[in-house]
Chains A and B, each alone.
Chain A
């Protein structure tokens, strides 16, 4: 929803604190302790999310049986199907039933189709995963060089233009962009397909061709955000940090200063932001998936909510939560790897 921000104590504005000058023993390594702690934390978080979802879903009127049968079903038909699907059991029983299976890796069977949920989720996750991955690669791949170039000569033409484009791009809703892309590139110019997904197993080229427009719709706002963020951070570094002044005083060339010093520090913030983004982006692709008819996770969850398929909703939510937690953890880990102050447990 709101743009992610750096967590407290993130890189940049403080001089390195005095810490132990030697390498600590690996079993006492703070980063490993961090990983362990966070993994442990992940369990109650995911559990909390799953309980909340189940409870919320139960509060919505209607159930899978009613949704399936539609508006012309008699109450008797609905009751019969509900009983068939096991929906007349109390909520706690249903939840524990699901939980029991989930813990052993079986995410249950769909209330609606009777098919096992895990393979469906795997398929859909692959699609959304690919979409998000492509979007990230494209947006970061462009954002980093653009931000570097912009920060190299702040307030010159390139900087101003790129910042302008970024802030303009951020002001366009991604669904508007998606619609625009389809109209121009798929219908008018027929350069790319308007809908559909080609599995990688069928054709790599076809797959990428079909993903260009949807990935662009998602990547462009991300690109704008990362460019602005990174450029802002780089400029902050270049102008405020003592170590930069030192480096310059030592005669290190401007590109070196930028890449080896400023960027290295700014990348922490960027990584954290990317990690936070990744977690929230999985569900955020719903509209783009709808417009391009991509069989992804966002669509699956939307369909599952609309058909009140509680098992599938639960499974999706748990997957999202796990991914979000893992993404954050990965970001924090990378952060620890890159920043010796954290690795060696200072401050």
Chain B
């Protein structure tokens, strides 16, 4: 299947649950989907043997209430969904990227800070557990139903509530305590 056909096939498969489609590059489509439809959409792709899960990644879009860095960053943006005074609340976009040959299809959900959870896809794709663990510890998103909630990358003694990949996180305020094995 060539790239264009692959993308069209995926778009067809996901049509019932698609909220919007963006085309950032010739070989990619990004499908905005709601959290309750996410697993149905993924299952449809898997049933059609369309590609494999390549990555789960998060991008933080902090809202206005959070402290602003240099003003110029906001001036340059022209994406309406990013930050605007009418949408003060922050959100985190979670991308589920599936690849088939050169074609990449991203299913994208965007939970807001006030309701920060996504469903786990581990019952569909067991190997997603590592990526979901990373998502949880780096962004503080709750992944409902994920089998393993322990840290993947951050140290054992990492304090709760510190999410390094949030935009406004600048570092730990305190020294990490020593782990108990040193006596």
Instruction: Say if A and B assemble together.
Output: no
Residues of A participating in the B interface, judged by any CB pair closer than 8 Å:
none
